Amino acid sequence: MFKFKNKYINYAAVITFFLALALINPAVRVFFSNVCELPLNLVRFVGREVDGAISYHRNYVLNEKLKNQIDLLNRKIVSLNEVILENQRLKRLLSLKESASYKVILSKVIARAPDSWSSVIMIDKGSANGIKKGMVALSYLGLLGRVTETTDSVSKIILMNDPNFCISALIQRTRQEGLVCGTLGVFLIMRYLPEGVDVKKGDLVVTSGLNPNYPKGLLIGRVVDMGKEFSGLSRYVTIKPATNLSDIEEVLVIAK
């Protein structure tokens, strides 16, 4: 028991000696200070890393939450813009429907024909709604094409840029008549115009009323170029359709 106590007394004496020496000798004091500083620096380093990791995780979670909120708001904005644009189109179509001297049936485009993507569309109205083969299709800007097939609930419409679509038309300013046909491209061609025809870029081209079911004066498009046929006996004009035929969502069908 006495030896055990002596052992602790010896330890205490050694520690006391070094502490006293540290207080007296500056070099020893610096040494002890550095020795003690090492574990403290390690603790501080670990603490900073832990705080940084916690802060990073907190900021990451907050950033993801904000990104999700922004994505949600963007989706709502897109949906709202779609509703606004649709309402604007429908308002124009309804205005045309009310002012027209003929009955029209409002429909929506539900598909495009895979084998004729640029020139054939399908609408959500059919024979059950009064639509028949040969009826004329319009947008709020002007002529689109004609109905070629119907089922009870769906109709197929060939657009006026299809090569199989041709219609008698007039240059509105001069009343010069010609035949407008599709090219399967962006533009239409008006053929069989006499040499020396009075036509200018920007002239409007409208339906002549000579084709069955087509009211006179429907806007087809605007002249953008002129040329001479290969035979040299007549001229033609290139027409840009009034309606963008690649961007059709609603259709009016003239019920005659």
User: 47-60: per-residue pLDDT in tens?
Assistant: 677 777 787 778 87
Shared domain for 72 and 146, answered yes or no, is no
In angstroms, rounded to a whole number, what is the distance separating the alpha carbons of residues 185 and 168?
A: 19
What CATH number is given to the structural domain containing 215? 2.40.10.340
Residue 219 shares a structural domain with residue 112: yes
In this model, does residue 1 exceed pLDDT 60? no
At residue 30, the pLDDT reads: 58
Task: Report d(CA 242, CA 180) in Å as an integer.
Answer: 13
Q: Does 117 share its domain with 83?
A: no
Provide the whole-model pTM: 0.67
Q: What is the rounded distance in angstroms from the CA atom of residue 228 to the CA atom of residue 158?
A: 28
Q: Distance (Å, rounded) from C-alpha 175 to C-alpha 189? A: 17
The pLDDT of residue 2: 45
Shared domain check, 72 and 119: no
Q: Looking at the structure, tell me whether residues 33 and 95 fall in a common domain.
A: yes
Q: What is the pLDDT of residues 91-102, one digit of tens each?
A: 666 666 666 677
* Phi/psi of residue 19, nearest 5 degrees: -65, -45
Instruction: Locate 203 and state its tokens.
Output: 């002239």
Domains of the chain: total: 2
pLDDT: which is higher, 176 or 42:
176
For the cut 90, the answer to whether the pLDDT of residue 19 exceeds it is no
Strand blocks (E) in the chain: 104-112, 120-123, 136-138, 143-150, 155-159, 166-171, 176-182, 188-194, 204-207, 219-228, 234-241, 250-254
| 57 and 108 housed in the same domain | no
Whether 93 and 214 map to the same domain: the answer is no
Please say whether the beta carbons of 106 and 86 come within 8 A.
no
% the chain with pLDDT above 70: 73
- What is the residue range of 64's domain? 1-99
Residue where a domain terminates, one of 68, 99, 130:
99
Residue 218 has pLDDT above 80, yes or no: yes
Which of 99, 129, 159 is the endpoint of a domain?
99
